[in-house]
Chains A and B, each alone.
Chain A
Amino acid sequence: MIFNRRDFLKAMGAATASGALYGCAGGTRAGGHVVVVGGGFGGATAAKYLRKWSEGGVQVTLIERDAQFVSCPISNLILSGDKTLADVTVGYEGLKKWGVRVIHDDVTGIDAAKRTLRLARGGELSYDRLVLSPGVDFVYDQIPGLASPAAQGQILHAWKAGPQTVALGKQLADMKDGGVFAITIPKAPYRCPPGPYERASVVAGYFKAKKPKSKVLVLDANAEIISKKGLFTKAWSELYKDIIDYRPNSELRDVDVAGRSAVLEFDTVKADVLNVIPPQRAGAIAVRSGLKLINQRWVDIDWRSMEATGTPGIHVLGDATFSAPGMPKSGHMANQHAKLAAAAILNLLAGQPPNPEPLVMNTCYSFIDSQNAIHVASVHRYDADKKTLVPVDGAGGVSTARNELEFRYALGWAQNIWADMLT
């Protein structure tokens, strides 16, 4: 059956009206319309679980600008030629089978008071609750040389997996043996704390096998490796001693695009392939919607419901949030945020309070080369006194050593989390 927007909105109105009949007693069912903006690890998971856990009682619309989901985790293996973009791409058909209405469009504005939002191609949607999972946007203010889209097209970030990942892989493949690959890392927090060190490792592994005279230069704005430090340090000294040159406290000040050079405070470093991971903040739609930000970058939320502080009805997930203590900005974490939010939203729509003791956990695998991986894991529980999620004492940790079993686990993790969010 073809369901046009008018029919859909009419059905929404009926669902909302019937929702009003639900009271506070147990056994109430959630109804209403939830709009999810952003179909990544957070948003796609939220859309699926809202449908699944409400047994179809809640109508869900997902607005996503891209035609397909492309995973950042695993995508560094594209740079070494071990994986292709197709290997890390999943479509949205599975969500449609859950009854999620998927609209490929951009959101231009949100009216939090009226609970409506506008779409770029025209039209307005109303919602009972809104889930924003906009990911990160790059902040180029402090890198004048990368202000123009043309410059950004030459000096790549490849920090949102997609065409840039493939293009960076091609730059590396085209680089002569004996060349220098330089990667710049912004000050934390940024998306995927171990990701830059994984990329340096994987590219070094590729050089070792294919272009042994080449170097990897890691220009880190941070004072030290900020994730899995011991494991990366050991791997680099044992495997890549003559390849990786790690320089802490090396914040990028500017880029000379024509000279492929990174301008630091006291030094200018020339590279054959320059990869700039820019500073980041919450996706633009979260910033434009007037949500309360911390450090002018990340959205302040209530961790019992992921609801934005001071803006009822809008729940924010994933990298865009001001992270709780010890919590990384990861796809795994965004998936867990989404389930926390979905459970809270269904309670709220049924007239119940959110779960007072939510718990989430994180697992991040990182590749060291084409055979070995390492992990970091943590579990976070809600602390009512501190009003935030805190790491559970004694839980979590990292691998004892890099190993081949966890390389396979990393790929198995990817298969399962992609299915958990999209099928």
Chain B
Amino acid sequence: MKLPHLVAALCLAVTAGGVAAQDPNLARNLAATCANCHGTDGKAAAGAGMEALAGADKEKLLQKIREFKSGVRPATIMQQIAKGYTDAQLELIASYFAAQR
């Protein structure tokens, strides 16, 4: 076994004993699930007709997604997708996109 693999295995063994901690990159990982339609880091392709999320105002973005989730805001697809995320996950996603420049 190569040394880095051994180190990884030891680290895994240590963590497995306790409660799984939240991944430090959770916001990044969750936001990446939006990129297929909204572009990498929310930078949508120009002229593709999809909303760019990078640099959005966090509260406005969060409000909009919450309205999709509750069904108040009409949509073709976002009302179905937003329901797949917890409020805490949506908060992380909105923060991540708001921080993108």
Contacts of A347 in B (CB 8 A): 23, 25
Contacts of A412 in B (CB 8 A): 37, 45, 48-50
The chain B residue sitting closest to A350, CB to CB, is B8
Tell which of B36, B48, B85 touches A363, judged by Cβ atoms closer than 8 Å: B36
Tell which of B2, B3, B10, B39 touches A420, judged by Cβ atoms closer than 8 Å: B39
| Apart from A351-B8, A355-B29, A359-B33, 20 more pairs, CB < 8 Å | A22-B4, A22-B7, A32-B4, A312-B5, A339-B33, A339-B35, A347-B25, A352-B15, A357-B26, A363-B36, A363-B77, A377-B81, A396-B83, A409-B77, A411-B49, A413-B36, A413-B50, A416-B35, A416-B44, A416-B50
Q: State which of A75-83, A188-196, A280-288, A399-407 sits at the interface with chain B.
A: A399-407
Q: How far is the CA of A90 from the CA of B51 in the complex (A)?
A: 23
Annotate A272-312 by CB proximity to B: 1 below 8 A, 0 otherwise.
Answer: 00000000000000000000000000000000000000001
Annotate B57-101 by CB proximity to A: 1 below 8 A, 0 otherwise.
Answer: 000000000000000000011001111110001000000000000
14 contacts between A and B (CB under 8 A): A23-B7, A313-B5, A347-B25, A353-B15, A357-B23, A359-B30, A361-B84, A363-B37, A392-B84, A394-B83, A397-B80, A399-B76, A416-B35, A419-B39
Does A20 sit within 8 A of B, measured CB to CB? Answer: yes
Q: How far is the CA of A26 from the CA of B15 in the complex (A)?
A: 13
The chain A residue sitting closest to B89, CB to CB, is A359
Q: How far is the CA of A20 from the CA of B30 in the complex (A)?
A: 29
Tell which of B4, B22, B89 touches A16, judged by Cβ atoms closer than 8 Å: B4
Residues of B within 8 A of A (CB): 2-5, 7-8, 10-12, 14-16, 20, 22-26, 28-30, 32-33, 35-40, 44-45, 47-50, 76-77, 80-85, 89
Q: How far is the CA of A418 from the CA of B8 in the complex (A)?
A: 33
Contacts of A353 in B (CB 8 A): 11-12, 15-16, 20
CB distance from B40 to the nearest CB of A (A): 5
CB distance from B47 to the nearest CB of A (A): 8
Q: How far is the CA of A20 from the CA of B7 in the complex (A)?
A: 7
The chain B residue sitting closest to A397, CB to CB, is B80
B4 touches A128 (CB 8 A): yes
Residues of A within 8 A of B (CB): 16, 19-20, 22-24, 26, 31-32, 49, 52-53, 115, 128, 312-313, 332, 335-336, 339-340, 343, 347-349, 351-361, 363, 375, 377-381, 392, 394-397, 399, 403, 405-406, 408-409, 411-413, 415-417, 419-420
Tell which of A313, A352, A395, A406 touches B84, judged by Cβ atoms closer than 8 Å: A395
Most B Cβ at <10 Å: residue of A52, A348, A353, A394: A353
CB distance from A267 to the nearest CB of B (A): 40
Contacts of A403 in B (CB 8 A): 76
B4 touches A392 (CB 8 A): no
B25 touches A343 (CB 8 A): yes
The chain B residue sitting closest to A414, CB to CB, is B48
- Chain A to chain B: the 9 pairs with minimum beta-carbon distance, closest first: A379-B84, A395-B84, A415-B48, A356-B20, A20-B3, A355-B23, A412-B48, A395-B83, A24-B11
Contacts of B39 in A (CB 8 A): 416, 419-420
Tell which of A31, A351, A411 touches B11, judged by Cβ atoms closer than 8 Å: A351
B29 touches A343 (CB 8 A): yes
A375 touches B77 (CB 8 A): yes
Contacts of B37 in A (CB 8 A): 363, 409, 412-413, 416-417
A396 touches B80 (CB 8 A): yes
Tell which of B12, B25, B49, B80 touches A355, judged by Cβ atoms closer than 8 Å: B25
CB distance from A68 to the nearest CB of B (A): 18
Q: How far is the CA of A267 from the CA of B10 in the complex (A)?
A: 62
The chain B residue sitting closest to A351, CB to CB, is B11
Q: How far is the CA of A320 from the CA of B50 in the complex (A)?
A: 30
CB distance from B22 to the nearest CB of A (A): 8
Q: How far is the CA of A305 from the CA of B73 in the complex (A)?
A: 35
Tell which of B10, B20, B28, B85 touches A359, judged by Cβ atoms closer than 8 Å: B85
B23 touches A379 (CB 8 A): no
B7 touches A332 (CB 8 A): no
Tell which of B28, B38, B76 touches A406, judged by Cβ atoms closer than 8 Å: B76
CB distance from B74 to the nearest CB of A (A): 11
CB distance from B92 to the nearest CB of A (A): 11
Q: How far is the CA of A378 from the CA of B82 in the complex (A)?
A: 10
A420 touches B76 (CB 8 A): no
Contacts of A332 in B (CB 8 A): 36
